[in-house]
Amino acid sequence: MEFYIDTADLAQIKEAMSWGILEGVTTNPSIVAREKRGFEELIREIARETPGKVWCEVIGTDADTMVEEARMFRNWADRVVVKLPMGAEGVKAASRLSKEGIETNMTLVYSVGQAVLAAKAGVGYVSPYLGRVDDVAWSGATLIGGIVETFARLGLPTKVIAASVRGPQQVIDMLNLGVHAVTTSYSVWAAMMKHPMTDIGLEGFLRDWKEAGL
């Protein structure tokens, strides 16, 4: 079971890493763009803030460019996981990078068939998008459950990392489906630590302790 924070906000990353429960940081081009900083500078800083994996996504659209970017990312951070977009070019790049020992993740996976082809290409992870599938009136949980079951049946070593996870209950739902990893926002992980009954119980303990004069 692996947990990742999906952000490029350094303040959030630093705080989240202090919890001691996360395996690293995932990013994508949109997340990086929001920070309005140089890509290399940002990734290097993120790598300094986490002892775990740092996930970087290519922006090239052909296999040769993707491979070049992946090698560049590896120079920025030796614990990098290179995110590739699903498609023929992404599959080509994944196959080549797996032979070089560069860990990859196939992102934007929306079918079991795509996931199987990505696994066959040697990726370490596939990223099906829970919330985005739900947004188009289908079941993201059904898709992700199908991928998990198919990988288990075929004995594929590729891990399933659930993405586009939008709330604490969705994290639990994904774990119950047997996903190997989850990435979500700082706010979701922070919310998952809280419960009103926990607050009520703690207030009661502290009140009783104070009243006892201990």
For the residues of 177-190, what is the DSSP string, one character each? Answer: HT-SEEEE-HHHHH
Tokens 């498609």 correspond to what residue? 87
| Catalytic residue positions, numbered | 83
Q: What is the DSSP string of the chain?
A: -EEEEE---HHHHHHHHHTS---EEE--HHHHHHH-S-HHHHHHHHHHH-SSEEEEE---SSHHHHHHHHHHHHHH-TTEEEEEESSHHHHHHHHHHHHHT--EEEEEE-SHHHHHHHHHTT-SEEEEBHHHHHHTTS-HHHHHHHHHHHHHHHT--PEEEEEEE-SHHHHHHHHHHT-SEEEE-HHHHHHHT--HHHHHHHHHHHHHHHHTT-
Residue 121 corresponds to which tokens in the numbers above? 């290409």
Distance CA 26, CA 163 (A): 10
End-to-end CA distance of the chain: 41
